Structure formats: C-alpha cells, structure tokens
Amino acid sequence: MKSKVVLSALALLFAAGAMAQDCTFFFPQTKGTQLVKKGYDAKGNLQSVMTYTVDEVKNIPSGLEVEADYVFVNNAGTVYDKGDLEAFCQNGEFFMEMKEVLSNPSFVSTVQSDVAATDAVINYPSVSNAPSGNGNDMYFDDAYIQIYSKKNRKDRKNVSIYDREYVTTEQVTTPAGTFDCTKVKYKIKSRSPKETIEGYGYEWYAPNVGVVKNEQYNNNNQLQYYTVLEVVK
C-alpha cells in the first residue's frame, strides 16, 4: 500500500512537471527582472509609462506563478497607480492579470489621477499548442475590467476586450530588442458616464517577456495609440 502511495505521488509530480512544460510563460521568470513599457498617442507623443519588476517566483501544482510590482505614471511622471499583478500557468495555459491595460493611455485619459483596476485575468495560449499548428483552433477568453478613480468611483471606465483571434507569428523589433511574437487581433469597447469608444487593436506577445507591442485603432481604421516595450533588464 505504501509503495502505491509513493508511486501515485511521483505520478502527480511528473504530471505537474509536464503541465508546466506545456505552458508557454509570457512573462519574465527571473526575480528582479524589470520591464518598462511606454504608451504614445497617434502622433508619437508620450502619454504614459508602466514599469514592472518581478518580485516573487514560485512553483505551484499547475506550473509556475510570478508576482510583479508595477508603477504606472503619466507623461509628467505623476503616479496614477501602483501595486502588484500575478502571472501564472493553469492547466497548461498562461494567464495574466488585466492591470496590464492601465498602460493604455486612452483608457485612463479621462480619469485624472489615483486610478485603480478591478481584478481580472486574461489568457495567452501558445500557438505551438494549437491542434492545427497555425493558431486557428486556439480559444481566447474575453476580458472585462473596470478602471476607476480612487477618489471617485463614479469616475470610471468599463473596458471589454472580445473576439480575440490569432493573426500570425512574426518578429518584432523594439528598443528592448527583437522578439519572436504571436500577433493577436481583438475588438475593444470602453464605456464611461461621458462616452463610449469602440475599436480594435493588435498585440504582439513573446515567450518569457509578454506583450512587447500594442496598437489600437478606431472603427475608421485610424491609429489612436500604441505601446512599446522599451527596456528589459
């Protein structure tokens, strides 16, 4: 009986290890690693800076979990928000908290200071795991997040990201380097008491790094903003 228990435990251990290998992790896994992303308007004017620092890395039954501190500032250096976010593997798929969207200047432009975001996660499946090998069979979750002013909860935006789909794999060069990326298209809707904005966007994400580039357009195909990974150190 005891040997069966030991064998069962080993089987679970190996299963967890296999699951961790199947999960492509789209965020740095080394404690102390820092990412700096900058957001620009359509004319190339700096709007925001998001800095992430990996604070903790730990193994969990489904694979790996990373906690990172972040600081979000506007172009004048005023801190809009700071806190932590989690990235993790679950059942062979990668997930990250949606506080990433705070780096999108169009979402926070009307929320003047001290912003916060509700907890929500979004998945980033690996193209190599798709049955057809080209990403067409990949399932992307929709996402919903609320961004609001800490001083006035009525000063808020409800952001929906939906109809996400794989586009292609390609190399992307940013000031932080050149990365092999998965390109995904998505639709987006931002609602606030003052306005509703709809459009679409593209994001490019790379293994062990995350989103290295993001572009958002309105429904007239006009570029509204973009973010770029500037530093990895």
Q: Mind giving me the DSSP string for 138-168?
A: -----EEEEEEESS-TTSEEEEEEEEEEEEE
Q: Which residues contact 159 (CB under 8 A, 6 or more apart)?
A: 101, 107, 144, 145, 146, 147, 188, 189, 190, 191
pLDDT above 60: residue 78: yes
Tens of pLDDT, residue by residue over 144-196, are 777 777 677 667 778 888 999 999 999 999 999 999 999 999 998 888 777 78
Instruction: Check residue 16 and give its pLDDT.
Output: 36
Among the ranges 4-13, 24-33, 122-131, which has the highest mean pLDDT value?
Answer: 24-33
Strand runs (DSSP E) across the chain, as ranges? 34-41, 46-60, 63-74, 79-90, 93-97, 115-117, 121-123, 143-149, 156-174, 177-191, 196-206, 210-218, 223-232
Q: How confident is the model at residue 135 (pLDDT cuts 50, 70, 90)?
A: low
> Alpha helix locations (H) across the chain?
2-22, 105-108
pLDDT above 80: residue 233: yes
**pTM for this model (two decimals):** 0.81
Identify the weakest region by mean pLDDT among 80-94, 98-112, 139-153, 218-232.
98-112
Mean per-residue pLDDT of the chain: 81
> Helix, strand, or coil here: 77?
coil
